[in-house]
Chains A and B, each alone.
Chain A
């Protein structure tokens, strides 16, 4: 299946660690990318190729994959991290991207 499954919402208190998952069979065989979308703004790449961060993205953001799950971890969560987060992979069989449904991160 090409569907990427994300939880609709995740809530975390400031200073704690947020974990956002992206599930698909054998997702570990692919490179997973993560985007942050603040309200009313365009998505921004925060993690690419499972674990790499673009220049300017804080080290608090990290990614990992294992088996059927990819995970975006945000440590020491701040109010400014409140946003929607999307995972994405590239389907080589059809040569197009697939996005997860998105997870709304709420900072309590």
Chain B
């Protein structure tokens, strides 16, 4: 059974860079798109970006180029870096798998999420 697990610091200072990694267990990263989605406390879901196992990326324009996604197929991991963070970036960050095998793209597998707080 494929599982996703986020890891990274739970506290980041304002103006610094948030770095998270998602580890895929029980399956391969190949031939899938992998995504990061966040949820501020008490609010809805916001897609941040997606990366194909080959390295092709797609980002949410609202992040204004602050986000960078990368993938390491040998480690079965993909990562998110978000620079110049502010309190508005405080959220639970989820990694998720994109499924394109059916009619249209959707997220068929999610990690448990990790809370990142931006505070000095």
Residues of A near any B CB (own CB < 8 A): 30-31, 33, 35, 41-45, 48-50, 52, 54, 86, 88-90, 94-97, 99-102
Looking at the complex, which of B20-28, B70-78, B82-90, B103-111 is the stretch in contact with chain A?
Answer: B103-111
Q: Please tell me if the beta carbons of B94 and A90 are within 8 angstroms of each other in the complex.
A: no
Q: Please tell me if the beta carbons of A88 and B108 are within 8 angstroms of each other in the complex.
A: no
- Give the CA-CA distance A86 to B110 in the complex, in Å: 14
The 3 closest A-B pairs by CB, nearest first: A31-B104, A33-B106, A49-B103
27 example contacts (A-B, Cβ-Cβ < 8 A) are as follows: A31-B102, A31-B104, A31-B106, A35-B45, A35-B107, A41-B112, A42-B111, A42-B112, A43-B45, A43-B110, A45-B107, A48-B102, A48-B106, A48-B108, A49-B106, A52-B102, A86-B45, A88-B106, A89-B104, A90-B105, A90-B106, A96-B50, A99-B44, A99-B45, A99-B46, A99-B47, A100-B44
Q: Please tell me if the beta carbons of B107 and A43 are within 8 angstroms of each other in the complex.
A: yes
Q: Which residues from chain B contact A49 at a C-beta distance below 8 Å?
A: 102-104, 106
**Interface size bracket, B side:** 20 to 34
The closest CB in chain B to the CB of A95 belongs to B58
Chain B min CB distance to A27 (Å): 12
Residues of B near any A CB (own CB < 8 A): 44-47, 50, 58, 60-61, 94, 99, 102-108, 110-113
Q: Which residues from chain A contact B45 at a C-beta distance below 8 Å?
A: 35, 43, 86, 99, 102
Q: Which residues from chain B contact A33 at a C-beta distance below 8 Å?
A: 104, 106-107
Chain A min CB distance to B25 (Å): 15
- Give the CA-CA distance A30 to B94 in the complex, in Å: 25
Q: Please tell me if the beta carbons of A54 and B44 are within 8 angstroms of each other in the complex.
A: no
Q: Which residues from chain A contact B47 at a C-beta distance below 8 Å?
A: 96-97, 99
- Give the CA-CA distance A2 to B8 in the complex, in Å: 32
Pick the residue among A41, A45, A100, A101 that contacts B106 (CB under 8 A).
A45
Pick the residue among A30, A31, A54, A101 that contacts B108 (CB under 8 A).
A54
